[in-house]
Amino acid sequence: MKDRPGATSVRRWPAWAWFLTGELALVAVAVSGLLGTLEPTAVFAIGITTLVALVLSVRRHRPALTWPWWAISASMAFFLVGGALRFDLHTLGNITTSRSLVPDLLSLPGYGLGAAGLLGFSRARDRGRQRHFGVILDAVIAALAILAVAWVYVIDPVLFQTHTPLAIRLVLTGYPAMSIFLVVVTVRIAFSPEQNRVPSYWFLLAAMTCMFVGDSFYMFADIDLISVAGRVLDLPYALAFVATGTMALHPSMRALTEPAGNRPQASSPGRIVLVAIALLVPAIITLQHPSSSLQDRVALFMIIICLTVAAVLRIVQALHIAERSEANLAYQAMHDSLTGLPNRRMMHQHLTNVLQRASVDDTHVALLFLDLDRFKLVNDTLGHTHGDELLIAVARRLNAHVRPSDLVTRIGGDEFMIVLGQVVSVSQALDLANRLRFSLRTPFVVNELEFYVSASIGLAFASGDDPDTNAEVLVRDADTAMYQAKDAGRDAVAVFDESMRTKVSERVELEHDLRRAVELRQLHLVYQPIVRIPHGPIEGVEALVRWAHPTLGVIPPVKFIPLAEESGLIMGIGEWVLEEALRQLAAWRHQTTGFEDLYVAVNLSGAQLHDSGLVERVREALSRHGIEGTALCLELTESVVMDKPLAAAAVLTALRGLDVRLAIDDFGTEYSSLAYLKRFPVTSLKIDKSFVDTLEDDDSSDATLIAAVVAMAHALGITTIAEGVETTSQAHRLMELGCDALQGYLYSRPVRAEGLPYVVNSLWKQSENVLQGSTS
């Protein structure tokens, strides 16, 4: 049987919504007067259901901290009992000595328990002791200010002639003071800048506000300043019970006892106004308060003293917090947030001071620039969390292996700088640098994983009598020396000299010129044939980029390609090479015979391989020039492929989906393993020239290595191409070893596009003579 329309949505109402709707309906009936003498019973029933809701909610939602909830529940119970006794004993309006204080003595602990519960929420949300103490002071200041104002302007003028006992007057003014305490604590919880606004906050604030309104009106009614029906006086309290129960039943109640963020506490305009008013209240009261009895003056004096002390404590605490915040900001400005080491800014200041002392004392200053080798692989393969933990461990080890006079700093990424103190000579500084380098060789254990770390270190040395040396110059020199250490093979120390500065200057100028080389059409391609053996014709050509510098002449790729990769220019150059090579192949196919089945090979950099748009860019280039995928071969080095193997495998598979050929260039110079080739859809291996050069030596072992590579490659369905073939005997030996194709000066040097058709036609005619010339 199907449910009625809308029935499902009604049943899906959460418990807090049912509770809120039902309780508000009961409140409306009670306040309307329809229940007559049963109205107090209805209010009592609302309180009982609130207690039940509190108990059930704590058991159901299981907040992180339960005792504040039990304190709130106990306070509600005291309020209920105190309210019932106040009704039974008819204390409302009785301000004589015959008034029973039993209901008040039961209600007052309820405020204490309520305050404890709210402060428990505050402490759970914000673990800072200073902030928690600030919440209490703010609430005390507000409560004392209300107490003083109520005493002077309400209680004392009305009751001055009635000789009302002091205890009753204190009780009457105490209710709104205590409830305003609860309101202020709630406001500080709900409007803390570290916390999100959840519904339970608003229900809690509504409950405490209703309590304050009810206590204020009850005080006015008790001293006969206003005359209202009892059910109207009970309305704020009933609404406070409803809001408290709804707050407990709402799932967001867990947020009240969960830790929030830990942002620095700052003074707010509201808090400043609160303290200012608190300090003004005693002065206003002193000027306007009429003469009264000794008891009144003593009571008022104690209230003003307490209020002033609380305000002064709040000001002292605010100053202390401001001082701590300023110190924290100063520390953060000078230290690295990850490792806690001094940062670049502090290093620069310290180095400047050391250089100034050196100029006075005529001593020496040394700076080490340390960069971890291949650290990027850690982040790429294991994630930045492991990388950060490793950096922290490295920082600790460096600190443990320097002298007390040395300063270890982290200037960013995996780069550290160490300012050496009390250095006598370059050799002493070099010894210290090598000590640090050797200390890193002991493996690091991070999250149960073992890491081996090495570092390249640049050393810059300055004497105190050199007026041209400052902190910026010394940092630049150490940085330059560090790159020299990397170029020397990593895990080394390089000492800066003036020749390095000249090289850096030339490098900067060359990079500047390279940025405009494409725009000014200074780059061009040359092509070198790839010949199939033993009797086959040319199968393809490799496109090689050259730079015709206007003053330096033709610059080879080995000089400017690494510069392009470091400067980020390789992406633009690589795109241009791909586009130009395909454009030229299409032109040859339309204009020259013999190019119909040839492919063009283009080198691919690591930056291009890991570019998310590579596959689509290749697809568009092939389509634009009307070239099929098999007519393009992309060549990558082993290091590029193995830098991010999983990502590389995905990209290479997508490229093979376009029928593009894939070749591993310079095979044997890096990982030299065919095992990883199973993971990549490679079509060709290019055997490095260094193996081909020694084939003619009688004692060369490279022939055996080449034979093994060829055999395993063929077993995987991969063809082999030998690079750097320069003699006929090398060609014959490679043919005997089973190579599929050759490339080198024996057939042709790299030539411009306009000269390649002649070379291709010539090699087509002479290919058999080249390979069989010695036996014909």
* Residue-wise pLDDT tens digits, 582-617: 999 999 998 887 788 899 999 998 888 888 899 999
Share of the chain above pLDDT 70, in %: 80
Residue with more model confidence, 398 or 593: 398
Q: How far apart are alpha carbons 571 and 569 in whole angstroms?
A: 5
CA 367 to chain centre: 30
How crowded is residue 675: how many other Cβ atoms within 10 Å of its Cβ? 8
The string of pLDDT tens digits covering residues 485-522 is 887 888 999 998 877 777 777 777 888 888 888 778 88
| Per-residue confidence (pLDDT) for residue 655, from 0 to 100 | 94
- What is the pLDDT confidence band of residue 2, given thresholds at 50, 70 and 90? very low
Rounded alpha-carbon distances, angstroms, from residue 231 to 30, 217, 692, 718: 7, 12, 105, 93
- What is the pLDDT confidence band of residue 652, given thresholds at 50, 70 and 90? very high
Average pLDDT of 235-248?
A: 90
What are the residues whose beta carbons fall under 8 Å from the beta carbon of 159, sequence distance 6 or more?
Answer: 95, 169, 223
Pick the closest to residue 535 from 726, 766, 710, 774 (CA basis): 766
Pick the closest to residue 418 from 57, 430, 112 (CA basis): 430
Largest CA distance in the chain: 140
Average pLDDT of 609-627?
A: 92
State the alpha helices, DSSP H only, in 626-701: 638-643, 645-656, 689-692
Strands (E), 400-448: 407-412, 415-423, 444-446
Q: How far apart are alpha carbons 575 and 598 in whole angstroms?
A: 21
Rounded alpha-carbon distances, angstroms, from residue 26 to 46, 76, 205, 256: 8, 18, 21, 28
Token pair in block for residue 455:
């570092």
Share of the chain above pLDDT 90, in %: 25
Q: Yes or no: say if 545 and 523 are a contact pair by the CB < 8 Å rule.
A: yes
- What is the pLDDT confidence band of residue 4, given thresholds at 50, 70 and 90? very low
Average pLDDT of 238-260?
A: 86
Buried b (16+ CB within 10 A) or exposed e, 408-445: bbbbeebbbbbbbbebeeeeebbebbeebbebbeeebe
Torsion sign (Cα): 667, 668, 669, 675? positive
H/E segment holding residue 457: strand 455-463
| Per-residue confidence (pLDDT) for residue 319, from 0 to 100 | 59
Tell me: pLDDT of 771 over 80: no
- What is the pLDDT confidence band of residue 8, given thresholds at 50, 70 and 90? very low
Mean residue pLDDT across the chain: 81
Tell me: pLDDT of 95 over 80: no
**pTM across the whole model:** 0.50
Tell me: pLDDT of 700 over 70: no
Q: Using CB atoms within 10 Å of the CB of residue 656, give its burial: 0 to 12 exposed, 13 to 18 middle, 19+ buried.
A: middle
H/E segment holding residue 111: helix 102-125
| Per-residue confidence (pLDDT) for residue 10, from 0 to 100 | 47
Q: Using CB atoms within 10 Å of the CB of residue 283, give its burial: 0 to 12 exposed, 13 to 18 middle, 19+ buried.
A: exposed
Average pLDDT of 753-775?
A: 71
Q: How far apart are alpha carbons 501 and 370 in whole angstroms?
A: 18
The string of pLDDT tens digits covering residues 139-177 is 677 766 766 666 666 666 666 555 677 777 777 777 777
Least confident of 99-108, 259-268, 459-468, 657-666: 259-268
Average pLDDT of 547-575?
A: 86
β-sheet bridge partners, residue 655: none
Q: What is the dihedral of CA 239, 245, 249, 255, to 10 degrees?
A: 90
Pick the closest to residue 432 from 392, 403, 394 (CA basis): 403
